[in-house]
Amino acid sequence: MIMNNWFKSTLFLKIILLLSLFVILVIGGLTFRHISNLTSSTEVVVKTYKVNLELEQIISYLRDAESGYRNYIVTKDTFYIESYLNAHKKVNNSFLNLRNLIKVNSEQQENLKILNKLTDSLFSSFAESKVFVKNDETNTETFKTLFFKEKVIIDSIRRQSMVMFQLENKLLNERQKEFQSDLKFTPLFFYVVLLIMLLLIIIAYTKISNDLKNIKAKNDQLLIFKESTNQSEIIGKHGNWVWHIDSDKYVYSDNLYRLLGEEPQSFEATFDNFLKFVHPDDVDKFAEELDKMIDEEELPFTNYRIIQKNGSIKYLKAFAKSFYGDDGQKILLGNTSDVTDEIENILTLEEQNLELEQNNKELSAFNYAASHDLQEPLRKILTFISRLEEKESDKFSDTGQQYLEHIKAAASRMRLLIDDLLQFSRTNKPDKEFVNADLNELFENAKQDLTEIISEKKAQIKIATLPKATVIDFQIQQLFLNLLSNSLKYSKEETAPIIKIYYSKVEADKEPSLYKAPQSHYHKITFTDNGIGFDQKYAKKIFDLFNRLHNKQDYSGTGIGLSICKKIIQNHKGFIFANGEINVGSVFTIYLPVN
Amino acid sequence: MKLFLKFDFNTLSKKVLESKLDEQNLEYKILGFGEIELIKKLTPEDYDALQSSLHDYGIEIVESQKSILVQKIKDMIINMVFNENIDLKVKSSVYLSKNIGHSYGYLSNLFSEMTYSSIGNFIIIQKIEYVKHLILNTELNLTEIAFKLNYSSVAHLSTQFKNATGITPSAFQRIIFKRRKLAKQKTK
Amino acid sequence: MQKDYIYIILADDDEDDILFFTDAFDELKINTKVNSFKDGEELMNYLNKDNALMPNVLFLDLNMPKKTGIECLAEIKASQKMSDIAIAIYSTSASDDDIEKTFVLGANIYIKKPSDFKKLKKVLSEVVAINWQYHTNALNKDNFLLRL
């Protein structure tokens, strides 16, 4: 991974280049050294052979001299002395040459000096002997000794030259050995370096080719992107524009023209030309906001209207951000979109909303008025019935009294219904005031309203400490009242009702029943009782308006109480759930959002 | 502008009494709330004059023994409730009979006969009055008031208050405060 | 001169309610005198007359033609001579909010008209009794609030 990144960096290429140069220099240097070594080596060999040649030549010349001398001795012809003299000269030449050749080597110089002395002594001996030959005294003992001495000298010369020869060869061998090792090393080194070079070249090539591929791909992407931007502008109904502030030049995208209802690039992109399309009422604001956008980095949208040539009014929304270009010039990049559809939708929605609200208000008023006005005649009926009961019941026959009872029962039931309906319509009132209330207080108030029935049934009510919360206080009190009154009403016969209320603050994502709840935390209040309970399959239905699970003979009730509870909970954006088990009891769980 | 007044009826009635008695140049000693001792016995004319002048101020000369006793019971109860120093833990029945000197049963019957309402009821009325006074004129909260008046709990106090007046103490406070606010606004 | 009866006035536009009301007081053993008016204007005309006898307790219905109960309430609270009257709002129903509003505007008592005659008698006798207690014990009438 790291290698990859490193590979991709442009620094990498530079490093490869430097390495290559370095390697080339190294190779150059080494090659140069190698060649000069070779040259030296060759020189040394040549020198050695020259030396050897000279030495051989000396020997040969000496032989010539010797043979000339011998010939002279034999023939006594002075003609042969010439060759001897020549030889002498040549020998001296050779010595000169040798001296030059072995200038560097002190040991060899010593050897040469010895050789020189020997040859000199040989030639002087020859010169001596010549006299003898001239005088024809070759048989004398001194001549024989001299002759023998010459032989010894020649042997010595030969030996000495052999020594020099060997030394020369030894030196040569040594040098050769040196060069040999160099030589052996060089090709290997050369091949290795060559391989490295090759490797470097391959790597460099790979990278360059990759980079090229990338650039091409990016280029392709850019082309596609440009095309899709164009398309998106058309589909999304927006256009881009650029304002080079300093040079006061504008660039409008094709679609910006289309937004104005014109052909792309059909007029010169200037501020004034654009302004011609802006609605006269919005012109000032538009210009002002645009000015603001230059100074600030970013501004919220500006909304304005334009009138196309065909007279249709469009709503546009523009937004711009200022940038500094590469050359340090300030430019404003903007985007303008046609939001006519959205605005028109919103207007339509608002209209519909108003209508709905109006309807709701009327319905509410009707509901309330109906319930309220129905109470009057009903009250009269009931009061007169009670008067009859009190004052005239003895004048009724048994049937008459029974009928009276039934009328009373029916009228009472109607009163209950109207009371509950009235309550229901009150929970629907649009003007709801939320206050920070102590739920314990509200509960106490509700409990107090039920004092009689609580003591009558000997009910026990245990309540946990409830928090303070922002609620519609009278509605929550009603909620508590309804739930409590239900628990008391639907208690088991011969069993004192035990009602327990629990509280905890919970997190929405930890409560399974709060799936997809909008708030994060809720107050959870649980009402449990030991009453007759209900079949869990009705758990949702019992909150329906007018829904009852019992006959009105068995348990009185209007079926509105729990609907009121549900409505109240809805007003608070909370949740209510019912759980029941027949003959065990009921559990009502309410969740109120914590805000 | 509107001013809010508090009345100390004891002092008020005493002052009126004194001024009226002084007007008629009577010599007197005020023995307690509702009791004066005249040094000299009054002539019928003086008596009538005194009675009529006091009547203008709502002060009646109580005639019958029974009325006197009932008045005493009332005064005792008022004292018991409103006076800070009295230990309310003492049962009212004991307190009354001890201080007035009759059996509680007798006092109770007498009270009911004369006022058509019971001593217990009267005590409750007075207590509630005092609670109202404390709610409106002091910074005490309901718990403190309940404690002061020897209720077993705030709930007990609230229940009795609600039973007597039909509204909760907090509603009462709210209503009176709103009334005052409204009155203030009217005078602006 | 102290009168020995309790003077009660009812202002209500409903004949039946007036009938119930007067019958109830007839059957109660309290010494009362009951007067009734059919609408708010009649009531105020009576009360504003010089020398008109002020009632101890005034029962005021809210929904009356010509002048509503609330309007009468405002006028009565503003009047010096009517300051001693205990005002009882006598109405069909109302929410807690509305009831509180009438108290704030100066009513002393709020009564929801019961649908049972026996209950009506009980309520009326309670009102009279408590009012009398206030009167005889010189309790602070400004704090006199009662809801039945």
* pLDDT 10s digits, B27-39: 888 776 677 777 7
Say yes or no: B124 and B188 in one domain.
yes
Question: How many Cα atoms sit within 13 Å of A174 on the Cβ side?
Answer: 5
Q: Name every chain C residue with its beta carbon within 8 A of the beta carbon of A380.
A: 16
In degrees, rounded to 5, the angle at the alpha carbon of residue A138 between the alpha carbons of residues A136 and A140 is: 115
pLDDT at A430: 63
B22: in domain: yes
Q: What is the pLDDT of residues B63-110, one digit of tens each?
A: 677 777 888 888 888 877 777 655 555 677 777 777 777 788 888 888
Mutation target among B52, B78, B179, B182 for the C interface, most CBs of C within 10 A: B179
Residue C27 has pLDDT above 80, yes or no: yes
Higher pLDDT, A471 or C96: A471
| Chain-chain contact of A379 with C113 (C-beta, under 8 angstroms) | yes
Min Cα–Cα distance to chain B from A394, Å: 32
pLDDT at C1: 34
The yes-or-no verdict on residue A510 having pLDDT over 80 is yes
Q: What is the DSSP letter of C114?
A: P
The CATH number linked to B178 is 1.10.10.60
Q: Is residue B1 part of a domain?
A: no
What does the mean pLDDT of chain C come to? 88
Of the given ranges (A148-152, A333-337, B42-46), which has the lowest mean pLDDT?
B42-46
Q: What is the pLDDT of residue A6?
A: 59
Strand partners, C90: C111
User: Distance between CA atoms of A82 and A161, rounded to whole angstroms?
Assistant: 25
* Chain B residues 46-105 within an 8 A CB cutoff of chain C: 58, 74
Classify the phi-psi angles of A62: left when phi > 0, otherwise alpha if psi is within -120 to 50, otherwise beta: alpha
Same domain, B148 and B177: yes
pLDDT, residue C123, reads 93
Mean pLDDT lowest for which of A173-187, A542-556, B112-126, C24-38?
A: A173-187
Confidence (pLDDT) at C87: 94
**Do A383 and C20 lie within an 8 Å CB cutoff?**
yes
Most trustworthy range by pLDDT among A185-194, A227-236, A534-543: A534-543
B86 and B96 in a single domain? The answer is yes
Is residue B4 domain-resident? no
Residue C2 pLDDT grade (very low, low, confident, very high; cuts 50, 70, 90) = very low
Percent of chain A with pLDDT over 90: 22
What does A201-221 look like in DSSP terms, one character per residue? HHHHHHHHHHHHHHHHHHHHH
Chain C positions touching B9 (Cβ under 8 A) are 138
| Residue B89: per-residue pLDDT | 57
Q: How confident is the model at residue A3 (pLDDT cuts 50, 70, 90)?
A: low
**Nearest-by-Cβ selection for C92 from A375, A384, A386:** A375
* B102 and B155 together in one domain: no
Chain C residues 92-131 with CB within 8 Å of chain A: 92-93, 95-97, 113-118, 120
Asked if A85 is an interface residue toward chain C (Cβ–Cβ < 8 A), one would say no
Q: What would the mean pLDDT of C126-144 be, rounded to a whole number? A: 81
| Digit-coded pLDDT (tens) for A33-78 | 878 877 887 887 788 888 888 888 878 887 877 787 778 778 877 7
pLDDT tier for residue A576 given thresholds of 50, 70 and 90: very high
Interface test with C, best of B16, B76, B112, B132 (most C CBs within 10 A): B132
CA separation for the pair A238, A255 (Å, rounded): 7
Structure confidence at residue C43 (pLDDT) = 93
pLDDT at A501 over 90: yes
Over range A327-331, report the average pLDDT: 81
Residue type at B59 in one-letter notation: I
Cβ neighbours around A209 below 10 Å, total: 10
The answer to whether the Cβ–Cβ distance between B158 and A444 falls below 8 Å is yes
If asked whether residues B128 and B81 sit together in one domain, one would say: no
Q: Where are the beta strands (DSSP E) in C4-121?
A: 6-11, 32-37, 57-60, 86-91, 109-112
Is B20 a domain residue?
A: yes
Residue A280: what are its φ and ψ, rounded to 5°? -50, -35
Looking at B73, B93, B116, the residue that finishes a domain is B116
Contact A547, A559 (CB under 8 A): yes
Taking the CA of residue A390 and the nearest CA in chain B, the distance in Å comes to: 25
Lowest mean pLDDT among A351-355, B151-155, C22-26, C89-93: B151-155
Task: Give the separation between CA A309 and CA A131, rounded to whole angstroms.
Answer: 143
Are B156 and B124 within 8 A, CB to CB? no
Structural domains in chain C?
A: 6-147 (3.40.50.2300)
Q: Which two tokens stand for residue A254?
A: 């094709």
Is C118 in Cβ contact with A390 (below 8 Å)? yes
Chain B: list its partners (3+ Cβ pairs within 8 Å).
A, C
Give the sign of the dihedral formed by CA B170, CA B173, CA B179, CA B182.
Answer: negative
Domains in chain B: how many in total?
A: 3
* Residue A334 near residue A289, CB atoms below 8 Å: no
Please tell me the least confidently modeled range out of A44-48, B167-171, C59-63.
Answer: A44-48
Predicted pLDDT of residue A558: 83
Same domain for B169 and B135: yes
3-state secondary structure chain B: CCCCCCCCHHHHHHHHHHHHHHHCCCCEEEEECCEEEECCCCCHHHHHHHHHHHHHCCCCCCCCHHHHHHHHHHHHHHHHHHCCCCCCCCCHHHHHHHHHCCCHHHHHHHHHHHHCCCHHHHHHHHHHHHHHHHHHHCCCCHHHHHHHCCCCCHHHHHHHHHHHHCCCHHHHHHHHHHHHHHHHHHHC
Q: Are residues B158 and B140 in the same domain?
A: yes
Q: Does A136 touch chain C (CB under 8 A)?
A: no
Mean local confidence (pLDDT), A96-107: 79
Confirm whether B149 is domain-assigned: yes
Work out the widest C-alpha separation in chain A, in whole angstroms.
214
Nearest to B166 among C137, C140, C147 (CB): C147
Q: Which of B101, B116, B131 is the last residue of a domain?
A: B116
Judge whether residue A487 has pLDDT over 50.
yes
Chain C: give the shortest CA distance to residue B129, in Å. 8
Give me the residues of A, 414-453, that contact B with CB < 8 A.
Answer: 441, 444-445, 448, 451
Residues of B in contact with C137 (CB under 8 A): 74, 125-126
**DSSP assigned state of A388:** I
What is the distance, to the nearest Å, from the Cα of residue C65 to the centroid of all Cα atoms in its chain? 17
Mean pLDDT calculated for residue range A126-145:
76
Residue B123 inside a domain? The answer is yes
Structure tokens at A129: 């002997």
For residue A182, the model assigns a pLDDT of 67
Q: Given an 8 Å threshold on Cβ–Cβ distance, is A379 in contact with C92?
A: yes
Do residue B110 and residue B169 come from a single domain? no
What lies within 8 Å, CB to CB, of A300 at 6+ separation is: A319
**pLDDT score, position A369:** 81
Residues of C in contact with A384 (CB under 8 A): 16
The answer to whether residue B3 is domain-embedded is no
Which residue in B157, B159, B161 has the most chain A C-beta atoms within 10 A of its own C-beta, making it the best mutation to test that interface?
Answer: B159
Sheet containing A575-581: which strands, arranged edge to edge? A460-463, A498-507, A521-529, A585-593, A575-581
Name the residue facing C145 among B9, B172, B182 (closest C-beta). Answer: B172
Residue range C68-83: average pLDDT? 89
Looking at the fold, whether B124 and B187 belong to one and the same domain comes out as: yes
Asked if B159 lies within 8 A of A451 by C-beta distance, the reply is yes
Residue B150 lies in a domain: yes
Instruction: Write out chain A residues lying below 8 Å of C113, CB-based.
Output: 379
* ipTM surpasses cut 0.90: no
The answer to whether C64 faces chain A, any CB pair under 8 Å, is no
End-to-end CA distance of chain B: 8
Of the candidates A258, A269, A237, the residue with the CA atom closest to the CA atom of residue A335:
A237
Structural domains present in chain A: 2-209 (1.20.120.1730), 237-338 (3.30.450.20), 343-431 (1.10.287), 432-593 (3.30.565.10)
For the stretch A163-172, pLDDT in tens is 888 888 888 7
pLDDT of residue B86: 56
A515, HSE (Cβ side, Cα atoms, 13 Å): 3
Give the residue from chain C lying closest to A374, CA to CA. C92
The stretch A516-538 carries a mean pLDDT of 91
Task: Report whether pLDDT(A429) > 80.
Answer: no
pLDDT tens per residue, range A195-231: 888 888 898 889 889 989 999 999 999 999 988 888 8
Same domain? For B156 and B173 the reply is yes
Please name the residue of chain C whose CA is at the shortest distance from the CA of residue A432. C97
Residues 6+ apart with CB under 8 A from B76: B95, B96, B99, B100
What does the pLDDT look like over A362-378, one tens digit per residue? 887 887 788 778 888 89
| Chain A hits for C15, Cβ within 8 Å | none
**Interchain proximity A444–B155, CB inside 8 Å:** yes
Q: Do residue B54 and residue B93 come from a single domain? A: no
Nearest one of A414, A430, A432, A446 to A368, comparing CA atoms:
A430
A475, A571 contact by CB (below 8 A): yes
Task: Give me the residues of C, 12-31, that contact A with CB < 8 A.
Answer: 14, 16, 20, 23
Mean pLDDT of B141-163: 84
Tokens encoding B3 = 């001013």
Question: Cβ A380–C96 below 8 Å, yes or no?
Answer: no
- Supply the DSSP string of A266-329, one letter for each residue: -S---HHHHHTTB-GGGHHHHHHHHHHHHHSSB---EEEEEE-TTS-EEEEEEEEEEEE-TTS-
Q: Using CB atoms, which residue from C104, C147, C148 is nearest to B179?
A: C104
Compute the nearest-CA separation of A428 from chain C (Å): 13
Task: Answer yes or no: do B162 and B132 share one domain.
Answer: yes
Burial class (CB within 10 angstroms; exposed 0-12, middle 13-18, buried 19+) of C97: exposed
Residue with the larger pLDDT of the pair A423 and A477 = A477
Q: How many residue contacts between B and C have a Cβ separation below 8 Å?
A: 48
**Is the pLDDT confidence value at A432 over 80?**
no
CA–CA separation, B17 and B30 (whole Å): 9
Domain that includes residue B143, residue range = 119-188
Whether C7 shows a pLDDT value over 70: the answer reads yes
* A81: pLDDT strictly greater than 90: no
pTM, entire model:
0.55
Give CA–CA dist C29/A48, Å, rounded. 166
**Dist CA A137 CA A144 (whole Å):** 10
Contact: C140, B178; criterion CB under 8 Å:
no
